[in-house]
Amino acid sequence: MESSVSDPAQGFQPAKLFTEFFTKSFTKAFTKPSAKSALFQILIVSVTSLGLTLGACLPVKAESASERIKRTGVLNAGVRMDAVPFSYLDQNGRPQGYAVELTQLIQRQLEQELGKPIQLNLEVINLDNRFEQVQSGQVDLYCGATSITPERERIVDFSIPFFTSGIQLLVRQEDALRLDPTRISEEELQQAQSGQVAIGFLQNTTTDTEFREVYPGASWQALKNRAAGVRQLRDRSLSAIASDGILLLGELWLQGEAFEQFRLVPEEPLTFEDYGCILPEGDQALGEIVNQTITSPANTQLWQQWFDQDTGRFPYKRFGASVKP
């Protein structure tokens, strides 16, 4: 007698057993006229149930940011309050800055691409949660003073660069020569640091991870923000603040400090860092629209309005060749 049990050498094959059983039962039952109608109804119900079960088991693709923007007509973008001249609040509490206006250009580019009005909703984020906010979908993107690094590119996507800055020290004018690593010898630098040089820095930034080795003997002190650092530098409780040069100048401007009383050293940053917009991983459609905006004539004009050395609202020397707004 032939057995319905699979050959042990071939392993247990439930799909094959089910097929054999169903075929034999179907053939036997369907030969009876009285059973044809009932069996057909059972077959339809069974197949439908099986399809629903399989459908429930299949993974559902999450809605991308670009799909959500198209569906809702809303662009949720991050904005910071403390990153002059890129993103900050004016005296009336309204968001201002180059990156804010770049985000508005992206909004208009989306309207053109999608052929419908897009509402821009600015959500306040901070230095610590900017990546998480994009990853979780709380915001669709964030354009601001965020350096593109290989480590960060493992968790989010970035646009092409829209600005290049670099880490420098903001010092009082009289300390410029003493603390400039490019103008004194290594021995002199070590002697300067042995005199209890206190350098303020912001945690969770590239300054924290990449700049300390330049002044290993200094007393590194974590700051709440750049505003607190400028106040401590002015009061002489800090010798210097280490951060992106453009942001240090921005903080001086925001606090109404006289630029001539301070100096950025060295004159050429020791590190060059590209800023890019933080984007959700894998959202190619949104990335293409953001990149098109960055390379557009409208953004070239906007960049010049903010940073042109002769006519800009915030004159700044352009470093490197990677930034092509």
Choice between 157 and 196, residue whose per-residue pLDDT is larger: 157
Choice between 325 and 130, residue whose per-residue pLDDT is larger: 130
249-264 pLDDT, tens per residue? 999 988 899 888 999 9
Q: Band of the pLDDT at 215, cuts 50, 70, 90?
A: confident
The answer to whether 95 touches 89, Cβ cutoff 8 Å, is: yes
Give which of 12, 319, 5 is closest to 168, Cα–Cα.
319
* Length of the chain, in residues: 325
Give which of 101, 105, 164 is closest to 295, Cα–Cα.
105
pLDDT score recorded for residue 45 = 47
Residue type, 139: V
d(CA 244, CA 152): 18
What's the gap between Cα 197 and its chain centre? 33
What would the two tokens of residue 181 be? 């690593």
When pLDDT is averaged across residues 106-118 and rounded to a whole number, the result is: 98
3-state secondary structure of 108: helix
260-293 pLDDT, tens per residue? 899 999 988 888 889 999 999 999 999 999 999 9
d(CA 325, CA 290): 12
pLDDT score recorded for residue 20 = 52
For residue 117, whether the previous peptide bond is cis, meaning omega lies within 30 degrees of 0, is no
Q: Which residues contact 251 (CB under 8 A, 6 or more apart)?
A: 84, 226, 227, 229, 230
Mean predicted lDDT score pLDDT of the chain: 82
The answer to whether 277 touches 152, Cβ cutoff 8 Å, is: no
pLDDT score recorded for residue 46 = 53
Q: Are strands 87-89 and 82-83 parallel, antiparallel or unpaired?
A: antiparallel
pLDDT score recorded for residue 205 = 82
When pLDDT is averaged across residues 87-95 and rounded to a whole number, the result is: 89
d(CA 301, CA 294): 11
Q: Which residues contact 42 (CB under 8 A, 6 or more apart)?
A: none
pLDDT score recorded for residue 56 = 53
pTM, entire model: 0.71
pLDDT score recorded for residue 100 = 98
The answer to whether 73 touches 118, Cβ cutoff 8 Å, is: yes
Please state, for a pLDDT cut of 90, what percent of the chain lies above it. 51
Residue 104 CB: number of other CB atoms within 10 A? 17
Query: Strands of 198-201's sheet, edge to edge?
Result: 219-222, 198-201, 240-244, 167-172, 262-265
d(CA 97, CA 297): 18
Choice between 45 and 214, residue whose per-residue pLDDT is larger: 214
Residue 59 CB: number of other CB atoms within 10 A? 5
146-195 pLDDT, tens per residue? 999 999 999 999 999 999 988 899 999 999 988 888 887 776 666 656 55
When pLDDT is averaged across residues 67-84 and rounded to a whole number, the result is: 95
d(CA 20, CA 35): 20
Residue 224 CB: number of other CB atoms within 10 A? 11
Q: Band of the pLDDT at 213, cuts 50, 70, 90?
A: confident
CA distances from 166 to 70, 105, 217, 245, 309 (A): 36, 25, 22, 6, 17
Query: Strands of 95-96's sheet, edge to edge?
Result: 82-83, 87-89, 95-96
Choice between 5 and 308, residue whose per-residue pLDDT is larger: 308
pLDDT score recorded for residue 59 = 54
When pLDDT is averaged across residues 207-223 and rounded to a whole number, the result is: 81
Is residue 110 over pLDDT 90? Answer: yes
Choice between 48 and 295, residue whose per-residue pLDDT is larger: 295
pLDDT score recorded for residue 40 = 46
